[in-house]
Amino acid sequence: MTDHAPLGRLNHIGVATPSIARSVETYRTLLGATAIGEPFDLAAQGVRVCFIDTPNTQIELIEPYDESSPIAGFLRSNPAGGQHHLCFEVADIHAAIADLTAKGARVLGEPRIGAHGTPIVFVHPKDMGGVLVELMETPLAGH
């Protein structure tokens, strides 16, 4: 069993929404969000995303492209939207995957490039107390 690196910073909270535009308005009007990025497509994942900065982390709004998007299934169960995942930073995605796998946790698929341009991977929520956890190699800039 490999040693584990210490728990990294919370890069973002993923929040599924049927409409990024409406959610941006909600966060702006009700919570005072001002640092709101431009939405962009993550085509490989079938979603459109938009980051909202808080002073210490980010909220990632996630809207499905179409009915085949994995987020579309989440929204069928939660039509208003809701909390979808938590993303923690790791120094080395391959070391993290090796460590989790050695400990019996299920890592979902191979690493792919995430919204901040570094490799990411998801851990099965059944191994994380019902929480879908994304691990992201720490972005070199942008904090």
Nearer to a copy of itself, 44 or 55 (CB): 55
User: Which residue stretches of 32-102 are H helix?
Assistant: 70-77, 93-102
Reading the block at residue 14, the tokens are 């993923």
Of 60, 89, 134, 137, the active-site residue reads: 134
- Assess whether 134 carries a catalytic annotation: yes
Q: Applying CB under 8 A, which residues contact a copy of itself? A: 4-10, 13, 15-17, 22-23, 26-27, 29-34, 52, 54-57, 78-83, 86, 88, 100, 103, 105, 123, 125-131, 133
Q: Which helix (H) or strand (E) holds 21?
A: helix 20-31
Nearer to a copy of itself, 22 or 112 (CB): 22
Give me the amino acid identity at 43. Answer: A
CB of 49 to a copy of itself, least distance (A): 14
Nearer to a copy of itself, 44 or 95 (CB): 95
Backbone angles phi, psi at 142, to 5 degrees: 105, 0
Q: Rounded distance, CA 119 to CA 46, Å?
A: 17
List, by residue number, the catalytic residues.
Answer: 134
